[in-house]
Amino acid sequence: MRINVLGVGFDNVTMDEAVDRGMELLHSPGTHCVVTPNPEIVEVCRENLAARQAVNGADLVLPDGIGVVKGAKMLGTPLKEKVPGIEFAAGLMERMAAEGRSLYLLGAKPGVAETAGEKLAAKYPGLKIAGTQDGYFQEDGPVVEAIRQSGADCVFVCLGAPKQELWMSRHGQATGARLLCGLGGSLDVFAGVVERAPKFWSDHGLEWFYRLCKNPWRAKRMMKLPLFLVHVRKEKGRK
């Protein structure tokens, strides 16, 4: 049973369990999707039905960040722990490398996915980079075909939310990949274009604050965070 946080159902798993589930999906016939909503995406889902359906329709819904974990706790239905998408991706790549699996990197500005691919191939020997494509393409068809041709087992779809969730639910199956993971800005981090917050900040639930200080332009987007807490409080009052 999923844990409902303002209309988004989260899988109640630890990081290790999430990676195990990801690998199970990779081994199962058919196409499967993993999404990693943070409070900002939950807020988007409250207003956007298509986004909500795409997120809830995924096979694995992971709480990316402390905000969702706090929200679930306030609602009296705690989640085991935060499962940041980027750490989930790292765990998955380690396991995929051990099995010699292939990964396609889709998203971010031109050049970023290639650099990320080079760095990831060096970091995870055995992992095959099946192909890369930046996230500013005009037509979906050729991109879907390129992924299909590459024969990738897994695709990291990093187009920002809710674009990546909608893209995966519309085109996932046609790519022929077993697993697609929506991972926001992860390729920028893997390529070394953007730094993740140092451990101290994330250990103290302050990764969002670090990102805000580094990128003040995020302030408008981040206003969704206090809004999320207001909505959780309201929902709690109704219970």
**With respect to ligand UDP, which residue has the nearer C-beta, 101 or 224?**
224
The Cα diameter of the chain in Å comes to 52
Shortest Å, Cβ 189 to ligand UDP: 9
**With respect to ligand UDP, which residue has the nearer C-beta, 174 or 212?**
212
Q: Which residue is nearest to ligand UDP (CB)?
A: 135
**With respect to ligand UDP, which residue has the nearer C-beta, 97 or 183?**
183
Distances 86 to 49, 64, 167, 235 between C-alpha atoms, Å? 26, 9, 19, 29
**With respect to ligand UDP, which residue has the nearer C-beta, 27 or 109?**
109
Residue 116 in 3-state DSSP?
Answer: helix
Shortest Å, Cβ 163 to ligand UDP: 6
- The rounded distance, in Å, linking the Cα atoms of 112 and 210 is 22
Residue 214 is encoded by which pair of tokens? Answer: 């580094």
Asked whether 104 and 143 are in contact (CB, 8 A), the reply is no
Residues that bind ligand UDP (CB under 6 A): 107-109, 135-136, 158-161, 163, 184-185, 187-188
Shortest Å, Cβ 160 to ligand UDP: 4
Other CB atoms within 10 A of residue 29 CB: 6
Shortest Å, Cβ 239 to ligand UDP: 29
Shortest Å, Cβ 158 to ligand UDP: 5
In this structure, which long-range contacts are made by residues 49-52, counting pairs with CB atoms below 8 Å and at least 24 apart in sequence? 50/162, 50/166, 51/161, 51/162, 51/165, 51/166, 52/7, 52/8
**With respect to ligand UDP, which residue has the nearer C-beta, 100 or 136?**
136
